[in-house]
Structure 1
Amino acid sequence: MKNISTILLTLLLSLSFLQAAAFEKSAKSRTTEVIISSDKPLTTGSNTIILDITPKYKDAKVSVKAFMPAMPGMPAMESKADAKDLGNGKFETTVNLSMGGTWQLHIFITPTVGKKSRVKTSLNF
């Protein structure tokens, strides 16, 4: 019984560490869904994020703007970046989040054919 308890506890701890190691969030607009993910939890500084966009546009241009509005005693902060096309609707970009807190994230998608779209969400860390 003691061995079973030890194995079960080890499995539970392993799964909790695996889940804590990554970041994932879904965001939608009327016509577009984006799954935002990262191999590591978001931190202060540069963060590489993967954008999985549906519908799967071919040769779309994607850019990201992360910003935190001005607050009393603190100016507004902003990070803009273009995303690199990884194929099959996935894009990779790096955003600089200069401090912890709630950041607004706007994802701009410009397909070669069709309408532009913007997906808005927020990130907390």
Structure 2
Amino acid sequence: MKTFTKIILTALLGVSLLQGAAFEKVAKSRATQIMMSSEKPLSTGNNTILLEVGHKNYKDSTMKVKVFMPAMPGMPYMESITDAKSLGNGKFTTNVNISMGGTWQVHIFLTPKTGKKVRAKTSLNI
């Protein structure tokens, strides 16, 4: 009985440790990288995304996030542009609207107080 109890407790502990972010992706530029994450998987509609800047020179920047799908035959260009809210220490949060499934391009614009604007890019499959 003790062995069975140990197995159950170990399994429960293992499952609880796997409770991480449901979505994680890295957007890269030459100057920095930005870790994107969400508590639940991304889907069509509104999605809240947490963004964390990797380089210390860009932690006090302002951030805009552009999510778009290029035009295709029979379908218009679609985009969602939002200003990310700073949470301090290089962490930001934003809410993006993804209007349909497919591959979406993501451009993240960082504007530091001094220096050049930076664009990090990645894509999302919904």
Counterpart amino acid of 2:87?
A: L
**Cα distance in 2, alignment partners of residues 50 and 88 from structure 1:** 13
What is the match of residue 30 of structure 2?
Answer: 30
Q: Which runs of 5+ in 2 are unaligned?
A: none
Q: Call closer, same or farther: CA 1:29–1:58 in 2, change over 3 Å.
A: closer
Q: Is the 8 A contact 1:58 1:112 kept in 2?
A: no
Structure 1 residue 75 displacement after superposition: 1.3
Which residue is 1:102 aligned to?
103
- CA drift of 1:54 comes to 2.1
- Structure 1 alignment gaps of length 5 or more: none
Q: TM-score, normalised by structure 1?
A: 0.84
Q: 1:8 to 1:67 in 2, by over 3 A?
A: same
- Report the RMSD for the aligned CA atoms in angstroms: 1.9
Contact 2:60 2:90 in 1 (8 A): no
Aligned equivalents of 2:74 and 2:107: distance in 1? 25
Question: How many residue pairs are counted as aligned between the two chains?
Answer: 123
Identity of aligned residues (%): 61
How many Å separate the matches in 2 of 1:9 and 1:37?
A: 26
Bigger drift between 54-63 and 104-113 goes to: 54-63
1:39 alignment partner in structure 2: 39
Alignment of 1:11-30 (within 5 A): 11-14=13-16, 18-19=19-20, 22-30=22-30
Are residues 1:82 and 2:70 paired? no
Give the stretch that moved more between structures: 2-11 or 105-114: 2-11
In structure 1, the residue matched to 2:55 is 55
**What residue identity is the alignment partner of 2:108?**
I
Instruction: Compute the TM-score of the two structures, normalised by the length of structure 2.
Output: 0.84
Distance 2:60 2:103 in 1: 31
